[in-house]
Amino acid sequence: MASLQSSFTVLSSAPKLRSSRLPGRSHRSQISCSDGGIDRRNMLLGLGGMYGVGSSLGRRAEALPILPPDLSTCDPAGATTTRRVNGVEEVVKLDVNCCPPFTDKQGDYKLPAFTKLRRRQSAHRLSPANLAKYKQAMAKMRELDKTDPADPRGFTQQANIHCAYCNGPYDQVGYPGVDLQVHNSWIFFPFHRWYLYFYERILGELIGDPTFALPYWNWDNPRGMTMPPAFDDSSSPLYDEDRNQDHRPPAVVDLALNSGITDPVQLISNNLALMYKEMVSDVETAIDFMGTEYRAGDDPHAFASGGTSERGSHTGIHAWVGDPRNDLNEDMGNFYSAGRDPIFYCHHSNVDRMWTLWDKIPASYPKKIDDNDYKNSSFMFYDEKKNLVRVKVADCFDTKKMGYEYEYSDTPWINSRPTQKAVPVNLKELSKGLPTADKVFPLKPAKTVKFLVPKPAKGKADEALVLLNIVTDNTKLIKFDVFINDEDDKPGELDRAEYVGAFTQLPHRVKSKESVNNLRLNLREVYENINIADDDAVVITIVPRVNGDAVTIGGIKIIPRRSGK
């Protein structure tokens, strides 16, 4: 098998590739070459062991899966961000080099056979024996930072994995200057599943217990909607001081980042309503849940979008735990530093659990993404024996084949659909004096704004609300909520029929500092909930939650959902 190093040499000597998008094409890179003589499919087929002739190219002429990065070209200056000091923008060098140790001893990973499944427990019900094992393993992982900082199994090196894949140190192979990013697309869930897989096995290896399993923070259940006590002990290796001190137990999780709500009963009700939306009502295709397509050459900061779970509860927990005492929201509140907090892995264990739960919810659409570019996308990790190995998305679909399962926990959100309104709003009265959307956009939502948006069809059509060209400052946490025909005007209560959804962004670094996104929110069930009348327009309310002045929304429209336009 050819090594990755030799494969990358082939790429680096090839003519530079250019990536662009044609209008109306969704996340498909159109490839051309400076000399017109290179065929992208042939180049990928020439990558030997990394992407050999035996790979299934499927239904399309070109193979454009996301390839694992060349670790030897990791940019140690990639961990930078920008911030304003006294009104002046400056570049800030972060106190971490995210680049992992490099070796040319690399190979493909083969899942071992498992005789006993590792059982991941709820962190709030973690047995004393398993908690003791967890602390022991974490202590040993942290000790490696002191005794052998270059050991890829050390806690800092493990934390740096997230930084390296999420904060700009890697370019995509064959696309200089184009970031490799594992958020906001269909590879979000597979990448983090593999990440936890090796992290868990490393912890087990360090204490000589192959049955060791990570706990999961079941923030989707009211009993788990506080920070697990095991992580709030300052004498424990599970503790991290860079957290929001106002959110230590018994503070109730706020998945919506709705800081105006302090009533724990309302917070729990909001959380359950949000979980229902992201797991059930907002999801009408696999892409809705998993995230948009992401192929080699695609700019991950141009019209990419995370799935409902990623941009919802996942990002909500990150921001809720992150420390507002520093202007970078470290640790959990920023991509580059999130892995420094041990609770990150417990949080993502539940994120991974959400994937397994969603996969079992009955639906009228196929749950599997039958796309070879998705299935053949791949990543590099160090295993528990310090071997650098390559893994593929296609090999992580079955958790039991990966040797683990989740302890059962109730999912009350499955029955948390908002109460349907008996009478539709009087649109004429509700819209009195309001501007139409064309008078409002482009919009910088520094304050709550209401406006009228035309519908393409009258009545309860199968439609979607699309917010277009959302330009964000990537150094900022950003959150805004969207309501429809909201006559009660209670923006703090998200367990109501009028709530449509939200846009949320966690701070991260990209070369351009700005990202451009679209946000699509399905309206079919929302229309049923609000008992929409035979109107040809609706009133939209946008409520900024965090840093509304750091985002500009280019436009808004309602479209027939199945048109794909």
Active site residues: 162, 183, 192, 314, 318, 335, 348
Is 183 annotated as belonging to a binding site? yes
| Contact (Cβ atoms closer than 8 angstroms) between residue 551 and residue 478 | yes
Report in angstroms the alpha-carbon separations of 279 from 274, 290, 311, 418. 8, 11, 12, 14
Is 162 annotated as belonging to a binding site? yes
Name, in order, each residue with C-beta under 8 angstroms of 412's C-beta and a sequence gap of 6 or more. 221, 222, 272
Q: What is the residue-wise DSSP string for 267-324?
A: HHHHHHHHHHIIIIIT-SSHHHHHB----TT--TTBS--B-HHIIIIIHHHHHHHS-T
| Cα-based torsion angle of the residue sequence 138, 142, 147, 152 in order, rounded to the nearest 10 degrees | 90
Is 347 annotated as belonging to a binding site? no
Residue 68 Cα to chain centre, angstroms: 18
What is the distance between the alpha carbons of residues 388 and 361, in angstroms, rounded to a whole number?
A: 36
Report in angstroms the alpha-carbon separations of 253 from 225, 244, 249. 5, 12, 9
Q: Residue 484 — φ and ψ, nearest 5°? A: -135, 130
What is the distance between the alpha carbons of residues 556 and 465, in angstroms, rounded to a whole number?
A: 7
Amino acid at 369: I
Annotated binding site for Cu cation: which residue ranges? Answer: 162, 183, 192, 314, 318, 348
Which positions make up the binding site?
A: 162, 183, 192, 314, 318, 348
